[in-house]
Amino acid sequence: MLYLIKDTKQQLELQPREVNINRRIADLFKHLDKIYGTQGFILRASKLDAVDLIGSGQVQDRVLALQKILEADPTLNELAATDEIEEILDHLEDMVADIYARRAAEDKMQQQVQEKMEAKYNDYLRDIKNQIVKEQSNNHENAQTLRKLGQLEKMERSGLNGSALELLRPEKAEEIIGQEKALKALIAKLNTPFPQHILLYGPPGVGKTTCARLALEIARGQQNSVFREQATFIEVDGTALRWDPRESTNPLLGSVHDPIYQGARRELAEEGIPEPKLGLVSEAHGGILFIDEIGEMDTYLQNKLLKVLEDKRVFFESSYYDPNDERVPQYIKKIFTDGVPADFLLIGATTRPPEDISPAFRSRCMEIFFDPLTPEHIKQIVSNSANKLGIDIAPELGEIISNYSHDGRSANKILVDAYALANNESGTGLGQLLVEPHHIFEAIQNSRISPYIICKGSDEALTGKIFGVGVHGYLGSLIEIESIAFNVDAGTGTIRFNDTAGSMAKDSVINAASVFRMERSENLNNYDIHINIVGGGKVDGPSAGAAIYLAISSAVMNRPVRQDVAVSGEISIQGRIKPVGGIHEKILGAKQSGIKKILIPLNNIPDIPKDIKDIEIIPIKHIQEAYDHVFLPD
């Protein structure tokens, strides 16, 4: 029939064009009637809304009817142009020819199947009987097992709603608050033909994991990105990854299930064949492996992961593997011979400082720092979360929550707890729920949450008291340093200092005594001096040296110190202010604590946050430059 249609085309080409087209259309309808049968043809035309078009006197209508029936598309409504009809008919005739060819092949195959079944009928019947007997003999179902199956199915159909914190997790880039720069940097590092492994630093709960997920979604399928639409995002917590010295299990890299110890699949174990089990690095192939708290991973496991990053594949070994054993499946042979591809991008997140991360990891990774959230960011997060929960909140709620939380997760926990209290208080649950301040304070008391910012700047001036600035977990905060001096007989004075403050802070006190003697031409042993770090906290590093010196000077000279100024910097015995770490976080922390001016070492100017507002930053090179900014005028 395929050849018949082609011969008909050649004959029709000799006819006048209009007659040719009408005959070709008529022949196509005849073939469709033969293919589907008269009743089937009418039913198909009716379903595809082509009946009226078939009886039309217009050539374009009948061609459209043929298109609808052959392409099974009732939405086709556009009539063909006159000069396109012959080309469309060529296409439709080819489709009819394909249908005939397919049916001929199916008929031939069906005939061969029938002949084969007749020839092998007895063999098939015997195999089926044996299979049924085997299944019946291995069927261990009983009333108890069926009841347990029913319990499982019932559990599948019922369950609790998802966590409210999951509901409040940002799902779009517009919902990321306070980390716009970090997200932009992350997207830029993914949306490139040559992406590099990445380390994310920052305090907990500020959106490192969420930003990584969103960045991949944005980069997927982009023109410059290597990540395809189906690129995976595999997430794992580094604290849950531990190295097994027996190498019997390794969810990160994969392991080999030997037939004797762990037991591979039954059919493999019976043959003594080891079975490799792939790990997360293989699942992440072509995508991203995100390891949260990567700094908590076992050191040996980190080294193993570095090897995978270099090779871009995982290799397995087993004393039970015999490459010459013909019973070993081909896929297992390939795994042991060539390894398994593991070409992925690693994104590691950590709350630790960079110096605590393996230098080998840092040398292979780009680094992005996430900023702590400001009170304004917390207020915006609270407002967005209230909209997602569908509740009304009092205007002052954002301000209250920002005093007790410094990250989005903590803020949402307080809001969700208050929402639960308000919902329980309403009883009926009717109408728009309103969360008020007393709900927030009750939630805070129930969870024993303390205010995030304890020390705050003020407009007053106090003698012997000054603010230093410290950093813990990427969060800057004020350190209250106070000093008091008593006149004693010359040379009989002593200096007392917190034992819990740390040895480096004590060294800063000794340096401050030398600078005071140089600057004032007076020895501190003429006074009994007591220096206290309020709260008894340990001061890591020498960054409180300048502040300690100024507190001592204030106490001895009885000069009041402004309480809206903070100081950070190491002081040398010659009075020079040396650079210190964490300036970026210290400036942000001082600003959140109400400080209006902060003094930093001159060499730390490159560390000043860009676009910082509402705080004056004064770089100083020598301690004398601090006097006019710290002390009230005489």
Distance, CA of 525 to chain centre: 58
According to DSSP, the residues that pair with 571 across neighbouring strands are 577
- Stated as kind and residue range, the H or E segment containing 46 is helix 38-47
342: which DSSP letter?
Answer: -
| Alpha-carbon gap, residue 400 to 320, rounded angstroms | 64
According to DSSP, the residues that pair with 257 across neighbouring strands are 275
- Residue appearing with tokens 């008919």: 89
Distance, CA of 632 to chain centre: 50
534: which DSSP letter?
Answer: T
The residue type found at 588 is L
| Alpha-carbon gap, residue 177 to 340, rounded angstroms | 40
Q: Check 405, 543, 554, 568 and give the catalytic one.
A: 543
Helices (H), 288-374: 299-311, 330-338, 359-364
Helices (H), 266-329: 266-269, 280-283, 299-311
Specify whether the CB–CB gap between 578 and 620 falls below 8 A: no
Residue 576 half-sphere exposure toward CB, CA atoms < 13 A: 6
Locate 624 and state its tokens: 């004398």
6 is catalytic: no
Helices (H), 481-582: 503-520, 545-557
Q: Which residues contact 380 (CB under 8 A, 6 or more apart)?
A: 177, 398
Q: Burial, 320: exposed, middle or buried (Cβ in 10 Å; 0-12, 13-18, 19+)?
A: middle
543 is catalytic: yes
Please give the backbone phi and psi of residue 472, each rounded to the nearest 5 degrees, phi first: -140, 120
- Residue appearing with tokens 């209290």: 421
The residue type found at 155 is M
| Alpha-carbon gap, residue 62 to 60, rounded angstroms | 6
Q: Which residues contact 437 (CB under 8 A, 6 or more apart)?
A: 394, 396, 397, 400
According to DSSP, the residues that pair with 619 across neighbouring strands are 600
Specify whether the CB–CB gap between 253 and 281 falls below 8 A: yes
Torsion of CA 56, 62, 67, 72, to 10 degrees: 40
Of residues 525, 528, 539, 533, the one with CA closest to residue 496: 528
Q: Burial, 580: exposed, middle or buried (Cβ in 10 Å; 0-12, 13-18, 19+)?
A: buried
Return left, alpha or beta for 482; rule: phi > 0 is left, psi -120 to 50 is alpha, else beta: beta
192: which DSSP letter?
Answer: S
Q: Max Cα separation, the chain?
A: 132
| Alpha-carbon gap, residue 98 to 163, rounded angstroms | 55
First to last CA, the chain: 113
| Alpha-carbon gap, residue 258 to 495, rounded angstroms | 68
| Alpha-carbon gap, residue 36 to 108, rounded angstroms | 19
Active site residues: 543, 586
